[in-house]
Each structure stands twice: as structure tokens, then as C-alpha cells.
């Protein structure tokens, strides 16, 4: 992964708690796992006028465990495949075997929580749990390895968009919402664009280890156009939904705060898309665009309709 998202590995003599904490890097918990789940709760609270604190906190714990599992599996299988050592084979990248066991345990408990919540929330919770689990476990894990089949970005967009947001809504309302489905595309498309832009600096090493992601398939220059188009569409949906009255009109603010960061990414990457280290600011701006726009969007959905 690019330096924007990397975290140093825990020293071998670190206490177990700190080793586990080092696995759960901030990017996935804050930028990916937390915000779509909160958006679903915001929709239930602000639009459907329903909120169940108990299931909210239990579901949040399940999401946290899923993030632990994703991070553990990503680190473990990337290390096994040697993805991060393609151009530096002598690099010291020690990934302990317990990381795989941690991932299995985290996914198992997260699944158990999902099935438990399904007793009160209905069978769709089981569906979202299974879909999210299939995406998380096999993103880099065998035998499917979505990222090696050119489906990694799509899986990320679905998992951190419709699956997580609609699952969160279901916990509170016990029903499907077409408006929430449209709302889920805002974080889903933005996080998908983040997945695409993050692969641009990793183009050569991903190609050499057999990852057939969209950037490898299309090339870095076309990948740049793709991530800009996907993220722009995510911001546009916030505006469109507000204009049609599906979202509170305050949802337009998501595009207002996100567009300057989107444009900053465009400018930063215009001449640097083929130079990984110089391209890092373009990646950072999209990370910030996702985080800020999704946060503002969730707040607008939660409180914009309370009049």
C-alpha cells in the first residue's frame, strides 16, 4: 500500500495489546468502517425517526471486529504474497502467524454478533453480514482473492456503501429504504474512488504480483481519470438527492465541502500520476474528501430533516 495508508509494524517485543492495536490502523476504522455505519444510523434517526441505542452500540462493536479482521488478513496475506517487498526484497517485514488467528477470531465474533442482531432486526441482517463477510474474508484471502480478480474496488464500494449503510438502517427500522440505498452510494462511490487512487502509486508492484485491479487493467493515467469520475459522481448524488427531496436540502453541503478537496486532488495529480511519491498529496486529498464529505452528509441526514 502507498505511504499514505501505511503504518509501521509492531516490534516483536511489544505487549500483545499494542501489537493488536497496531494492526487496526486508523485509515480503515475511521475512513472506511465507521462513517457508512454512522450514516445508516443517521438515516434511521433523521429520516425514519427511529433509533435503537442498544443495537447501535452492539453493531458498532461488530463493525470494529470486522475491521480488525480485514486489517489482519490484509497484512497477513500481503506479507505471504510479498506484495510490499517487490522492489525491496531484503526489507524486514515480520508478520506473526497469530495475525491470521486474530483475523479468524475477529470475523467469527463479528459474524456471531450479526446473527444475534438478526433475531430482532430480521433476516436482511444475515444477508448483509454474509455479503460483508464474503467481501472482507476473501478480499485478499484465498481462494477467491477479489483484489487479484479485478473486483477489489467494486467489493470495497459495495461493502462500505450499500452493505454497511443499509445494514445499519435495518438494525433500527427493520425495513429496506430506497432513499437510504441512494444515500449509501455517496460513501460507497467515494471509498471506491479512494481504493482506485490508492492503487496508482502501487501500479508496478501490483502488476508484478498479479493483482488485476482497475489501475493495473486500465493503466495509471486512465486510473486517474477513473477515480476523479467516481468521486465526482459520489458528490453529485448528494446534490441530486437533495434537489429531488430524497435527502434533506442540507445534504448539498457534502458536495460544498468535498468539491474543493476533489479539485485539489485533481491539481495535485495532474502532472504527478506517474511519480508515486509526488502523487501522494493527490491521494491524501481524496481521503480527506471522503472523510469530510461523508461526515457532513451524515450530519445533514441526521439533523437536517428535524424541523
- Distance between CA atoms of 107 and 96, rounded to whole angstroms? 18
The rounded Cα 284 to chain-centroid distance in angstroms is: 15
Distance, CA of 196 to CA of 215 (rounded, Å): 7
Of 98, 116, 6, 23, the closest CA to residue 61 belongs to: 116
Q: What is the pLDDT of residue 263?
A: 96
Q: Which residue has the higher pLDDT, 30 or 96?
A: 96
Identify whether the C-beta of residue 189 lies closer than 8 Å to the C-beta of residue 231. Answer: yes
- The mean pLDDT value for 195-209 works out to 88
Give me the pLDDT at residue 99, please: 78
Mean pLDDT to the nearest integer, 241-260 = 95
Residue 212 is predicted with a pLDDT of 85
Give residue 122's region: left, alpha or beta (phi > 0; psi -120 to 50). Answer: left
- Using pLDDT thresholds of 50, 70 and 90, give the confidence band for residue 106: confident
pLDDT higher than 50, residue 103 = yes
Average pLDDT of the residues in 89-100: 62
Measured CA angle at 75 (ends 100, 134), to 5 deg? 65
Report H helices in the chain.
Answer: 16-23, 26, 35-46, 53-81, 98-121, 123-137, 152-158, 164-173, 178-199, 203-209, 214-218, 220-243, 252-269, 276-303
Query: What are the b/e assignments for 7-43, b being 16+ CB within 10 Å?
Result: eebbeeeeeeeebbebbbbebbbebbbbbbbbbbbbb
Residues 250-283 as b/e (b if ≥16 CB within 10 A, e otherwise) read bbbbbbebbbebbebbbebbeebbeebeebbebb
- Is the predicted pLDDT of residue 88 greater than 50, yes or no? no
Q: How much is the average pLDDT of 59-71?
A: 86
User: Percent of the chain scored above 90 by pLDDT?
Assistant: 49
d(CA 118, CA 112): 10
69 has pLDDT over 90: no
The pLDDT of residue 165: 95
Taking only the tens place, the pLDDT of each residue in 264-293 is 999 998 888 888 889 999 999 999 999 999
Grid cell listed for 174: 427493520
pLDDT in tens, 1-42: 444 444 444 454 555 555 555 544 544 555 567 899 999 999
Q: What is the pLDDT of residues 124-182, one digit of tens each?
A: 899 988 888 888 878 877 788 888 888 889 999 999 999 999 999 999 999 999 999 99
- Which of 131, 78, 133 lies closest to 100, judged by CA? 78
Classify domain 16-303 by CATH number: 1.10.600
Check whether 94 has a pLDDT greater than 50. Answer: yes
Amino acid at each position: 500500500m502507498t505511504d499514505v495508508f501505511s503504518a509501521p509494524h509492531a516490534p516483536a517485543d511489544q505487549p500483545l495489546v499494542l501489537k493488536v492495536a497496531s494492526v487496526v490502523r486508523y485509515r480503515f476504522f475511521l475512513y472506511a468502517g465507521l462513517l457508512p455505519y454512522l450514516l445508516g444510523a443517521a438515516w434511521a434517526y433523521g429520516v425514519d425517526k427511529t433509533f435503537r441505542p442498544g443495537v447501535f452500540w452492539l453493531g458498532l462493536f461488530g463493525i470494529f471486529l470486522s475491521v480488525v479482521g480485514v486489517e489482519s488478513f490484509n497484512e497477513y496475506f500481503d506479507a505471504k504474497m510479498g506484495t510490499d517487498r517487490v522492489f525491496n526484497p531484503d526489507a524486514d517485514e515480520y508478520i506473526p502467524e497469530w495475525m491470521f488467528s486474530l483475523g479468524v477470531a475477529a470475523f467469527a465474533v463479528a459474524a456471531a454478533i450479526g446473527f444475534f442482531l438478526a433475531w430482532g432486526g430480521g433476516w436482511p441482517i444475515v444477508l448483509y453480514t454474509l455479503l460483508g463477510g464474503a467481501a472482507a474474508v476473501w478480499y485478499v484471502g484465498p481462494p477467491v482473492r477479489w483484489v487479484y480478480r479485478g473486483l477489489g474496488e467494486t467489493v470495497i464500494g459495495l461493502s462500505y456503501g450499500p452493505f454497511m449503510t443499509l445494514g445499519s438502517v435495518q438494525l433500527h427500522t427493520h425495513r429496506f429504504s430506497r432513499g437510504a440505498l441512494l444515500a449509501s452510494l455517496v460513501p460507497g462511490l467515494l471509498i471506491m474512488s479512494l481504493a482506485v487512487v490508492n492503487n496508482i502509486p502501487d501500479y508496478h508492484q501490483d502488476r508484478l504480483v498479479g493483482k488485476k485491479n482497475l489501475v493495473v487493467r486500465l493503466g495509471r493515467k486512465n486510473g486517474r481519470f477513473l477515480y476523479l469520475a467516481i468521486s465526482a459522481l459520489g458528490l453529485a448524488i448528494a446534490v441530486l438527492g437533495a434537489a429531488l427531496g430524497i435527502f434533506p436540502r442540507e445534504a448539498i453541503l457534502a458536495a460544498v465541502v468535498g468539491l474543493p478537496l476533489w479539485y485539489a486532488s485533481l491539481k495535485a495529480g495532474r502532472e504527478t500520476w506517474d511519480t508515486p511519491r509526488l502523487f501522494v498529496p493527490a491521494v491524501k486529498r481524496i481521503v480527506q474528501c471522503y472523510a469530510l464529505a461523508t461526515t457532513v452528509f451524515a450530519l445533514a441526514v441526521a439533523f437536517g430533516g428535524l424541523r
